[in-house]
Amino acid sequence: MKTAVVTDSTAYIPKELREKWNIHMIPLSVIFDTETYREDIDITAEEFYEEVKHRELPTTSMPPIGEFVKLFESLAKEYDSVISIHLSSGISGTYQGAVSAGEMVEGIKVFAFDSEVSAMVQGFYALEAAELAEQGKTPEEIIDRLEEVKKTARAYFMVDDLSHLQRGGRLSSAQALIGSLLQVKPLLHFVDKMIVPFEKVRTKKKALNRVVDLLAEDAGKGGGYRAVVIHANRENEALEWKSELEAQFPNVEFMFSYFGPVIGTHLGEGALGMGWYKK
Ligand code: MYR
């Protein structure tokens, strides 16, 4: 029984790690005027943040279903099944695209998995799945483990300017609430697949400290944790934060990742996030 692992580009798993674990990637796109760029293939994160300095922010789009079908058909030559892990179905049609394509292809069983989050926290699911697939676990066993991961997976993030999320329609809140949030730096997270404010915090520093407290609460319960610091074109600031965290939490394994073009379009430059789960 051979199981392939697919995730979409918004997991932002570094290429070397994807190659090491044989994780297949399907890209989402950013659209500037009429030009479509598949992230990580036609446009890098660096090029994107450079481009948006002098251009209107683009729109984003899920992978075409035909691309899913092509990918699953090519995997069918080598694998019996595929676990296809995607960003939250509450903010993108990508997961549904994988489900639909899975119903169209023959010769491979497709297990679509809704991570209910995005960025490298979604990547955690792909890494866990890839490790188990390599050990020869069945897709059902892998899905069980992913559901287990979901119980301890957390993701918090903050943006410099909430208007991008508002413009893209990905903030699940009443208009009045958004109005009041624009005055503060809210800490955001996912509830029921949608982005909602976790707490209204007045400054970025306070928001970061709050996330550290939340990690301390969870990591304090014991067991090994894996965490990630994620940034939107703020590499130095994020690396500094990661070093502080590593000193404070010697038992947590920290990874480093970024918000690429698609998620960067909705969060804007300067966003920072952190996520973790119990290994
Ligand atoms: C699409 O066009 O289908 C993609 C829409 C992507 C919306 C992204 C919204 C922001 C997600 C932030 C995730 C942060 C996780 C730490």
136 C-alpha vs ligand 1 centroid, how far in Å? Answer: 32
**Residue nearest (by alpha carbon) to ligand 1 atom 13:** 118
Q: Does residue 126 share a domain with residue 20?
A: yes
**Is 43 a domain residue?**
no
- Contact between 277 and 226 under an 8 Å Cβ cutoff? The reply is yes
**Residue nearest (by alpha carbon) to ligand 1 atom 7:** 91
For residue 122, the ligand 1 atom closest to its alpha carbon is: 15
Q: Does residue 234 share a domain with residue 134?
A: no
**Is 39 a domain residue?**
no
Choose among 170, 211, 213: nearest CA to 194: 170
Strands 225-231 and 272-278: antiparallel
**Residue nearest (by alpha carbon) to ligand 1 atom 5:** 92
Domain harbouring 176, CATH code: 3.30.1180.10
Tell me: ipTM over 0.90: yes
Q: Does residue 177 share a domain with residue 266?
A: yes
**Is 38 a domain residue?**
no
CB distance 133 to ligand 1 below 6 Å: no
Tens-place pLDDT, residues 31-61: 999 999 999 999 999 999 999 998 888 999 9
CB distance 257 to ligand 1 below 6 Å: no
41 C-alpha vs ligand 1 centroid, how far in Å? Answer: 18
241 lies in which domain range? 154-278
CA dihedral 245, 250, 252, 254 (to 10 degrees): 50
Tens-place pLDDT, residues 111-142: 999 999 999 999 999 999 999 999 999 999 99
Of the residues 131, 150, 169, which one is the last residue of a structural domain? 150
The predicted pLDDT at position 176 comes to: 46
